[in-house]
Structure 1
Amino acid sequence: MSVPRVVVAAPTSNAGKTSVATGLVAALAARGAAVSPHKVGPDYIDPGYTGLAAGRPGRNLDPVLAGEERVVPLFLHGARGAEVAVVEGVMGLFDGATSPDVAPGFASTAHVARLLRAPVVLVVDAGAQAQSVAALVHGFATFDPTVRLGGVVLNRVGSDRHEQILREALGASGLPVLGAVRRLPELGTPSRHLGLVPAAERSAEALATVARLGEVVAGSVDLDAVLRLARTAPDLDVAPWDPAAEVTVVPGRPRIAVAGGPAFTFGYAENAELLAAAGAEVVPVDPLRDEALPEGTTGLVVGGGFPEVYAEQLSANEGLRADVAALAARGGPVAAECAGLLYLSRELDGHPMCGVLDAATAMSPRLTLGYRAAVAVTDSVLAAAGTRVRGHEFHRTHALPGAGATPAWQWSAAGAEGFVAGSVHASYLHLHWAGSPALPQRFVASCAARSRPDRSEQHAHR
């Protein structure tokens, strides 16, 4: 299968990868191209911006969470119908996962670029350098001959003279300078305790930022040269990932609500696709705005996000909180991770939540971040006891207690974690279900085993 593609990488974090990648997607889309946006690693926030620019979901490519063997099939699945794909890297080009059970460089941008056989565009923060840029680029171009650098985008260039010096310095490198982007502080995207503010929370402001990034890149980067480079990527002799091939259809078509809206923006598109492939009717619910679960809801999935930012508003929506508690009380399957755990707790920063879990949650000064190899402690609606998964933690909150009488997962670094209580599975662990398709299969089956409540039963719990 042939998909022209480039990987946007950088020597370090904070060099401008997200801005350049988002601007590149927006600029190509503005020219009428169908662009497929992707992100290396587990991060949910950056794909929100490139997805907004492309008008289609930004898809993650993570060898740890989904498995190395699924990276190319997942890429091809996400790129169906696209004329070009832009893959934003993670951290520095060669920086990979730090888990002790994986090799150095595993899950790095370079690793994914090799798997995709894609040329790399290196975004260099040139703001504090001149001729030294040539040494930097030379080092990255020669460090690993299996990674093909196809060109450089100079970022945070100070002036015409600065740009001239940088271009002259790179003249002998053999790598083309594809563009030079000036310092534009007004294009900075707002950040908070876990990084950038998700695009879904900024709505009109995010759209304006994305459009402006597209204009800047269109005026600063040789888009035709980028497209020519993308077309040098060879065919990928692999079938696209197909969610229908990963699961079997469960009879009964249970209706499963999936939380979304500004407070719950973290979710992999493939998770909902797997639920649907397994026979579920997937319907959205916004805990900030919807006063009740969708009629006929049999199960609920509450993924990640920033409920701590919206704690007061979430608490004020008493109708939906009561509906969620009633669903769990009558045995409706609920799967929650990270933000979902906070929402199901008794309280979040003193604000009453759904009260499904006997735990209090609150903001914490400590950032918890990293991959985890976990084992299911007991049978639940999501996983059979002994199921092994790879997940990712990313939060500045804590739960007291950190685990229920029956924990969800066990891993060496933190011991037992999470909660399994009746039909509820809640944990801080983020999971990419493409890497563990038995999980959505089991969850849909758990929902199908429950009879769909009728209208009168639902209203009786409100």
Structure 2
Amino acid sequence: MTRAIIIGAPRSGSGKTSVTIGILRALARRGIKVRGAKSGPDYIDPGFHTAATGLSGVNLDSWAMSPDLLNALASNATEDADFIFLESAMGLFDGIPAGQGRTGSAADLARLYHLPVLLVLDVSGQSTTAAAVAKGFATYDPDVRMAGIVLNRLGSERHRKLCSEAIETLGLPVVGAILRDPTLNLPERHLGLVQAGEYADLMTHLDRLADMVEKSLDLDAIMALAAPFSPASGSFEHALQPPGQRIALAEDAAFTFLYPHVAAHWRQAGAEIVPFSPLADEAPVQNCDVCWLPGGYPELHSGSLAAATSFRAGMARFAETKPIHGECGGFMVLGEALEDAAGETHAMLGLLGHSTSFAKRKMNLGYREARLRVACPLGPQGALIRGHEFHYAQMIATGNDEPLADLADGQGNPLGASGYRRGHVSGTFFHAIARGA
């Protein structure tokens, strides 16, 4: 029987990612089959979970995924794992106003699957006040149970004692206490953490986090807090279906943001994914049925992409007869030009007519629901696609292409036409997660 627990916190930046990764790596080093999961739309943390455990990470998103798809993914996650540690996005109860159980918060998953919560508290700048925070979490929702507390960023042994004694008088066990150590912080940039695949010494850093966890947390007590996890049967009816039998997928440091569950379902449905690297000046294999440019960091590599002549020629040739779709960063590369952070403009593929700028930054963040105006690799005409936007680039020229979809926010408020299409080419700023239900 697989057991699971949610690792939550009052807010982002509390240290729950480092705690989660450290626990995952420490247990994997003990030979325990352990898997990481992430609530909400985060495509970076699952990469660290995978690296730490050797088992692929998974997103479980109660807003973007239908209940059947959520159950199917959760069930798959239990198949080869003894333990699952489900890391919360943002604060434990943070989501959007939506129907019951569909807010996108980790608390939705705690209620749905009756999972206990290991609460990570950043206690820097406070002592016994931490008990008031813990009590608030323990009593806020009777259907979301706090099972234990990890104290993070402690300044001293006296600090630990003050916090622990105050919290344990509430009946909440303190199962970890971590001293402040900035060297354990994972480096960040504009879209969150620097990705796992970009570390030259990734495993060294993961092992340092595991060493910290072994020293500072009671892992046996934490495993004992986890609850049996047996999701109801589900289906992949509302998963994003493979856009073709053979999918040419851009995959390198500029194109990285493809959800693990999307690629996994494509393969399970019988599709073959054929990766290629635009930064290595590779073109998509021409006998593929469709080409997919995922999100990533093209703004950091725009000069190299502009100079990749074989990639550019191969994409133009592919677009003459076969579908190409780009998401976020991929959408930016499909356009005419990209202005980098230094204000230098680089020619992109020109398969769509828009241009984007990273010099004029503005954060766009939130759940999105798109109704497709025409068929494209995301789905048939009229299909409802759920996903999200998270980017700082802005459109500085719109071009004359036809809109791809009608967009709404997570609460259904119309945002207008979104994305573009021209011939076989389509693209959007939003990342697709699943089909709407």
The residue aligned with 2:223 is 227
**Contact 2:242–2:266 (8 Å) recurs in 1:** no
CA offset at residue 103 of structure 1?
A: 5.8
The residue aligned with 1:432 is 433
CA offset at residue 166 of structure 1?
A: 1.4
CA offset at residue 171 of structure 1?
A: 2.2
Which of 104, 129, 136 matches 1:132?
A: 129
Which of 259, 267, 292 matches 2:250?
A: 259
Give, in whole Å, the separation in 2 of the partners of 1:387 and 1:242: 16
Q: Residue 84 of structure 1 aligns to which amino acid in structure 2?
A: F
More strand by share: 2
CA offset at residue 303 of structure 1?
A: 1.2
Q: Residue 270 of structure 1 aligns to which amino acid in structure 2?
A: H
Give, in whole Å, the separation in 2 of the partners of 1:141 and 1:288: 49
Give, in whole Å, the separation in 1 of the partners of 2:231 and 2:184: 39
Task: Give structure 1 stretches of 5+ with no counterpart.
Answer: 438-462
CA offset at residue 297 of structure 1?
A: 2.6
The residue aligned with 2:350 is 355
**Contact 1:62–1:68 (8 Å) recurs in 2:** no
The answer to whether 1:335 aligns with 2:303 is no
Q: How does 1:23-38 map to 2 (within 5 A)?
A: 23-38=22-37
The residue aligned with 2:212 is 216
Q: Residue 148 of structure 2 aligns to which amino acid in structure 1?
A: G
The answer to whether 1:111 aligns with 2:108 is yes
Q: Residue 77 of structure 1 aligns to which amino acid in structure 2?
A: N
The answer to whether 1:270 aligns with 2:265 is no
CA offset at residue 117 of structure 1?
A: 1.6
Secondary structure of the structure 1 residue equivalent to 2:151? strand
Give, in whole Å, the separation in 2 of the partners of 1:339 and 1:299: 18
Which of 222, 232, 242 matches 1:238?
A: 232
RMSD: 2.3
The answer to whether 1:160 aligns with 2:154 is no
Q: Could you report, residue by residue, the CA deviation over 1:404-443 in whole angstroms, capped at 9, with x for unpaired residues?
A: 531111125431111111112210111113x459xxxxxx
CA offset at residue 400 of structure 1?
A: 3.9
Give, in whole Å, the separation in 1 of the partners of 2:239 and 2:163: 50
Identity of aligned residues (%): 38
The residue aligned with 1:207 is 203
Q: Could you report, residue by residue, the CA deviation over 1:17-70 in whole angstroms, capped at 9, with x for unpaired residues?
A: 111111111111111111111000001112222222112222111112112343
The residue aligned with 1:422 is 423
Q: Residue 108 of structure 2 aligns to which amino acid in structure 1?
A: H
**Contact 2:257–2:296 (8 Å) recurs in 1:** yes
CA offset at residue 93 of structure 1?
A: 1.4
TM-score (normalizing by structure 2): 0.91
**Contact 2:240–2:262 (8 Å) recurs in 1:** no
Give, in whole Å, the separation in 1 of the partners of 2:165 and 2:102: 32
Q: Residue 293 of structure 1 aligns to which amino acid in structure 2?
A: P
The residue aligned with 2:342 is none
Task: Give structure 2 stretches of 5+ with no counterpart.
Answer: 340-344, 409-413
**Contact 2:40–2:61 (8 Å) recurs in 1:** yes
The residue aligned with 2:365 is 369
CA offset at residue 390 of structure 1?
A: 1.8
After superposition, the Cα gap between the structure-2 partners of 1:97 and 1:297, relative to the gap in structure 1 and judged at 3 Å, is same
Give, in whole Å, the separation in 2 of the partners of 1:217 and 1:157: 14
Give, in whole Å, the separation in 2 of the partners of 1:146 and 1:318: 57
Aligned residue-pair number: 426
TM-score (normalizing by structure 1): 0.86
Give, in whole Å, the separation in 2 of the partners of 1:106 and 1:178: 29
